[in-house]
Amino acid sequence: MGGGGSALRVCADHRGGINWLSLSPDGQRLLTGSEDGTARLWSTADGQCCALLQGHESYVTFCQLEDEAAFTCSADCTIRRWDVLTGQCLQVYRGHTSIVNRSAWLGAWAEGRCPGSFRGHPNCPSSAPWDLPASLARGGGCGRWPMAAATSAAGHTGAVLVLVPSTPSHHGFTGSTASFTIGEALAVFPGGHQGSVICLELVNRLVYSGSADRTVKCWLADTGECVRTFTAHRRNVSALKYHAGTLFTGSGDACARAFDAQSGELRRVFRGHTFIINCIQVHGQVLYTASHDGALRLWDVRGLRGAPRPPPPTRSLSRLFSNKVGCAAAPLQPA
């Protein structure tokens, strides 16, 4: 069980760790944002870098790729919009007075104007979904919340690291560094992780949570019942992606793994990175992993057979609102 996966390509153009990885809606391009202050566009057809996006004065924290434009957030307190064909910066959005961790794209922002400011957090927000304007309090636990306009969902006693909204049900799923103790949560996911919840993946009515306790847990979204636990990680679970019956994970042990989502069986281990894997994406028969070692790696995932793939959600949101937390103190050597 858990044989090794073969790398198709290693892209080591960045001169710093890769903090975020975004796949375009049509699946033809990837966008990476890095500690080196740049973002790069990649072709999924051949794995070649097709554009270098330069202009930020500090590291890139987040990036989002749309059909005709790319967006990047940075520690230089700005957001930039880029032309995906030429790599030219089309717009610089200013107004923040500190690091921009995440952003979501609305029509007014595309026009270059700020339609309003949302205030109330005593500390920096880490997630911001566009269609569910809610405020999450700083306070590992998981929970399900009603997400009505102009509301505040308080109940975590530790920092809220990740938020994944469910658009059809108008609920938000959160992961935190501590368990729930108070609040108006619709469902609390108790007795689960023994460490911070770092990343979430919502697939139909199942919620997958990755934690600093080195496990992934599968929960029934409606009841909060834990139905499956995925083990084998040697350090924290930092990234999740569900694809065609397979659950892919990235870890602080510098490995990516493929599990049968239904049985929990470990199918494959992908070794080669030397530091924590911050982001993963899957397109076709290729797995993309982005690491703090500065490399983007492409892996062959043919031959992974899992449960039949359920109908996809309206839009995959885990790639937007997971907050990656590293735990490796020093680069690891490939196994």
Residue 9 is given by DSSP the state E
CB-based contact 65:22 (threshold 8 Å): yes
- Binned at pLDDT 50, 70 and 90, residue 275 comes out as very high
Closest CA relative to residue 143, chosen from 181, 107, 105: 181
Higher pLDDT residue, 144 or 12?
12
* pLDDT at position 309: 47
Give Cβ neighbours of residue 293 (< 8 Å, ≥ 6 apart).
17, 254, 273, 274, 275, 331
* pLDDT at position 129: 41
Ranges of each domain in the chain: 3-13+127-321
Taking all residues of the chain, what is their mean pLDDT, rounded to a whole number?
A: 76
* pLDDT at position 53: 97
Closest CA relative to residue 229, chosen from 176, 269, 189, 256: 189
d(CA 63, CA 274): 23
- Binned at pLDDT 50, 70 and 90, residue 138 comes out as very low
Write the burial class of residue 263 (CB in 10 Å: 0-12 exposed, 13-18 middle, 19+ buried): exposed
The structure tokens 């994970």 sit at 249
Q: Name the token pair of 319.
A: 């790639």
**In the predicted structure, residue 146 carries a pLDDT above the cut 90:** no
Nearest-Å Rg of the Cα atoms of the chain is: 19
CB-based contact 103:91 (threshold 8 Å): no
Q: What is the pLDDT of residues 13-29, one digit of tens each?
A: 999 999 999 999 899 99
CB atoms within 10 A of CB 223: 12
What pTM value is reported for the model? 0.74
* pLDDT at position 160: 53
- Binned at pLDDT 50, 70 and 90, residue 324 comes out as very low
State the CATH class of domain 3-13+127-321: mainly beta
* pLDDT at position 105: 55
**In the predicted structure, residue 300 carries a pLDDT above the cut 70:** yes
* pLDDT at position 237: 96
Q: What is the pLDDT of residues 184-234, one digit of tens each?
A: 455 556 667 888 888 989 998 899 999 999 999 999 988 888 999 999 999
In this prediction, what percent of the chain has a pLDDT beyond 90?
50
Higher pLDDT residue, 39 or 158?
39
Per-residue pLDDT averaged across 306-329, rounded? 44
Q: Name the token pair of 153.
A: 């969902």
Q: Where are the alpha helices (DSSP H) in 4-118?
A: 107-110
Ranges 80-89, 133-142, 154-163, most confident = 80-89
CB-based contact 176:164 (threshold 8 Å): no
Give Cβ neighbours of residue 273 (< 8 Å, ≥ 6 apart).
254, 255, 256, 289, 291, 293, 295, 297, 332, 334
Evaluated on CA atoms 151, 101, 171, 30, the torsion sign reads: positive
Which range has the worst mean pLDDT, 208-222, 240-254, 298-312? 298-312
- Binned at pLDDT 50, 70 and 90, residue 137 comes out as very low
**In the predicted structure, residue 59 carries a pLDDT above the cut 70:** yes
The number of C-alpha atoms within 13 Å of 97 and in the hemisphere containing its C-beta is 2
Left if phi > 0, otherwise alpha if psi is -120 to 50, otherwise beta: which for 45? alpha
Strand 49-53 to 18-23 pairing: unpaired
Q: Where are the alpha helices (DSSP H) in 15-120?
A: 107-110
